[in-house]
Amino acid sequence: MAVIKKRDGRYFCVYYDDTGKQIWKAFGRGPEAKKAAQAYDLEIKANKKRNRPVREPEKIDITNLAALYLEAKGSSLHPHTLESIRFLINKIIYPTLGGRDINTLSKRDLLPVVKLLEKRGISPATFNRYIAYLQAILNWGVQNDIIPANPFKGFKRKKEDPYKVPIITPDELEKLLGVAPEHLRWALLVAFYTGCRPGQTELFRLRWDDVNWQEKTITIYGSKTKKIRKVYLNDAFFNMLVDKYKKRDCDYIISYRGRPVKSLRKAWKKAKQAAGITRRLRLYDIRHAFATYMLAAGADLKAVSEMMGHNSTKMTADRYYELVKDLKKQAVSKLPVLSILESDNKNIRQNIRQSPKNIARIREKQSG
């Protein structure tokens, strides 16, 4: 029996079980791992002296650990997160690390996982999200004493590009509304005029009871932020909301054939194709449009931030500043050019052409 430190910094307790098989039990890296390996070594030696059986510890791989993690945490995770974790485990982890004992893994063993993710052509942000899911599973295993250490702790994530919010133009939105089926068209209008997060988090949760008909407001509960916010409604949209309420067939504002809507992915994809929109646009970008066009029109930053359900005005400013700046530049360029500016610019251009430097250049060209 002995405690051995490998070149990669991992500590192992090496011993022989009752059958004479050599066992390498991993404890991770650092001082705590060393202490744990030494304590385990003393325990093995004590068992040998007392003639107690010394058996190989039960192996556990990442897929088994993930199953335990989902069993314990699954009910508190968002459906999209659950779907992403299951994809990660079944399509990425199982083909590369399935069956491997976690105690025998090191950062080097993560390379096949990285290559398989990269092969799918995902963005750095999506790549980092999958790695974060994997780290969460392993850290949970450590916290619950299922595994001694996270073998991928400290793995460096990819550098992400600065956040860029795509601007959906009014023309694109009009095209989408023109080709979308009725339930999608209505969902897009609600999202655009309320700034709701699309999907189950906010948009699909809206009920007619959430509308205050006297104040012309709608109350939105954000399951993501656990906050309630009030959004004032545009007059033209409010009139449409009143008409929809009279014809309602469901308690939910977004419905299809008398039932609440659960997904708009297929309808959204078909509508984009029918509208001839080939660039990457998501339903979430309708929410971005709500904030972008209000800020560009000079709306108060704090008011927009509160209606978006952001935690701070800084978050709103950081996310939308560049977009609003670009829109304001476009607006300034559309100002008419008055005749006095035309004549002044003509004189300026003439003076530039007659400047000593330009005259010297002209003479050089003529002599050449």
For the stretch 99-145, pLDDT in tens is: 888 877 888 888 899 999 888 888 888 888 999 999 999 999 888 87
Under 8 Å CB-to-CB from 3, ≥6 apart: which residues?
A: 11, 12, 13, 14, 34, 37, 38, 41
pLDDT band of residue 47 (cuts 50, 70, 90) is: confident
Please give the share of the chain, as a percent, with pLDDT higher than 70: 83
pLDDT at 89 over 80: yes
* CB neighbour burial string for 84-120, b if at least 16 within 10 angstroms, e if fewer: bbeebbeebbeebbeebbbbebeeeebeebbeebeee
Whether 359 shows a pLDDT value over 70: the answer reads: no
* Burial annotation 4-18 (CB, 10 A radius, 16+ → b, else e): eeeeeebbbbebeee
pLDDT band, very low/low/confident/very high, at 357 (cuts 50, 70, 90): low
Here the tokens at position 288 are 């971005």
* CA dihedral (66, 68, 74, 79) positive or negative: positive
Enter the tokens of residue 113.
């996982």
Least confident of 49-53, 237-241, 280-284: 49-53
Residue 290 has pLDDT above 80, yes or no: yes
Total-model pTM: 0.54
Please determine, for residue 17, whether its predicted confidence score (pLDDT) is greater than 90.
no
Rounded CA-CA distance 291/304 in Å is: 6
Tokens of 163: 């956040």
In the chain, the percentage of residues whose pLDDT exceeds 90 is: 30
Which of 78, 118, 80, 111 lies closest to 96, judged by CA? Answer: 111
Q: Which of 3-7, 179-183, 271-275, 317-321 has the weakest average pLDDT?
A: 317-321
Alpha-carbon span 183 to 335, nearest angstrom: 39
Interatomic CA distance for residues 194 and 212, integer angstroms: 13
| Comparison of pLDDT for 187 and 26, the residue scoring more | 187
Of 184 and 169, the structure prediction assigns the larger pLDDT to: 184
Across the chain, what does the average pLDDT equal? 83
Per-residue pLDDT, 135 = 92
pLDDT (0 to 100) of residue 340 = 66
C-alpha closest to that of 230 among 204, 213, 253, 211 = 211
pLDDT class for 226, splitting at 50, 70, 90?
Answer: confident
Strand ranges, E, within 124-201: none
Average pLDDT of the residues in 343-359:
55
The predicted model gives 7-14 an average pLDDT of: 84
Q: Can you give the pLDDT at residue 55?
A: 59
What value does the mean pLDDT take over residues 339-349?
59
pLDDT band at 98 (very low <50, low <70, confident <90, very high): confident
In angstroms, the CA 287 to CA 272 distance is: 17
Q: What is the pLDDT of residue 49?
A: 77
Block residue for tokens 């929809």: 244
Using 50, 70 and 90 to split pLDDT, how confident is the model at 331?
low
Q: Please name the helix (run of DSSP H) or strand (run of DSSP E) that holds residue 344, with its range, or none.
A: helix 339-353
**Closest Cα partner for 92 from 70, 111, 79, 71?**
111
SS3 222: strand
**Pair 146, 60: CB distance under 8 Å:** yes
| Cα-Cα end-to-end distance for the chain | 91
DSSP-assigned beta bridge partners for residue 219: 230
